[in-house]
Copies of this chain bind each other. A is one copy, B any other.
Amino acid sequence: MGKLILDKGPKLVDVANAAGVSKGTASNVFNRPEIVSKEVRERVLAAAASIGYSGPDPKGRLLSAGKVNAIGVATVEPLGYFFTDPFARVLMTGITEACDANGTGISLVSAANEDELIWNVRNALVDGFILFCLEGAERLIDLSRERQLPFVALAFGHRDETISVVAVDNVEGARVAARHMAELGHRDFAVLAMEFQEGGFGRATPERIARSTFSASGDRVKGYLDELASWNIDTSSIPIFETLAGEATVHPALEELFSSPTPPTALLAQSDRIAFIALDWLRARGISVPGDVSVIGFDGVPECERSTPPLTTIQQPIAEIGRRAVKAILDHGHEVWRETLDVELAVRKSTAPPPARRIR
């Protein structure tokens, strides 16, 4: 039947035997050559070469070493998300920087489907996880906790005080956004929000917002309304639309808003992505931004500078979040590490005072 025996490749013990030394000594030759006598060292190396052994297999080392020297970055999205989504990319830049500085590798773990996610998180060979918490945050967090490895949740603040989180102050960021609009003179607002609960969209009631599972969206609404209330604006009449940051859910919201006799002059978008969709829709409708309506985003992805018009937004320190997350894992391990970073208003061309006829 020919050569069916697949050569399993030589192991350290084979080298040791071939060189006539103990396994311990052979191991030392590869890891701490300086403590082995030159003579023996050369003999072992020669033996290794002659039987085709090219150094210890990391799989073996791993078990006793304990450390993998890599951190896992996990999300519920397909893996491509890390390379296509603007926010993710900038974040990854920060993560990679910190990892490079520490000589740590990166493992991308994701999931095409639920089962895979579970398998991937359970079996990822990593020393810790950075969780990209979009939707499905709960699952991801539960699974990570099961692994009993250090992990830190990102981007989405999470109400659970027992897990490590690196995030921005969403309430404050939203306040700044609303204040910017109010200072420009706007009084007619509408909010294009992210999901409050898994898969939700459409006009949102205060109750739904209060019960939001995704704290970022809830917090941002709170920030907007708190600030506007301080300007004596009747916040109860501000329409809030929940969206999935896709055209399918953003367009209907805009449709409804701008078919009103008094459409908003200020659009508070909870993410740049939503804002871009709005910008496109408004342009297609011939509604001028910022002439007729001002739009402000949230996040500060690089694309803001290239949109038409360039998007005014709340700039998150995206890369810094990534760097801090790595630090949290590497330096703080299992200890609960919660960090809140500051955001900044980045004024571009999508905001201006409301049209003269609408100033109240």
A interface residue numbers (CB < 8 A to B): 9, 54-55, 58-63, 66, 68-70, 78-80, 82-84, 89, 92-93, 96-97, 99-101, 103, 105-110, 112, 116, 119-120, 122-125, 146-148
Contact = CB atoms under 8 A, between A and B. Distances in A.
A96 B80 contact: yes
Which of A89, A123, A146 has most chain B Cβ within 10 Å? A123
B83 A93 contact: yes
Contacts of A66: 59
B78 A84 contact: no
Contacts of A63: 59-60, 62-63
A110 B319 CA distance: 19
B107 A103 contact: no
Contacts of A61: 123
A125 B54 contact: no
B108 A106 contact: yes
A59 B97 CA distance: 26
Contacts of A101: 112
Contact of A122 (B55, B112, B123): B55
Given A61-B123, A62-B125, A106-B107, A93 B84 contact: yes
Nearest to A69: B123
A62 B106 CA distance: 18
A80 B105 contact: no
A103 B116 contact: yes
B107 A80 contact: no
B108 A80 contact: no
6 contacts: A55-B122, A79-B96, A79-B97, A82-B96, A83-B89, A105-B107
A100 B75 CA distance: 13
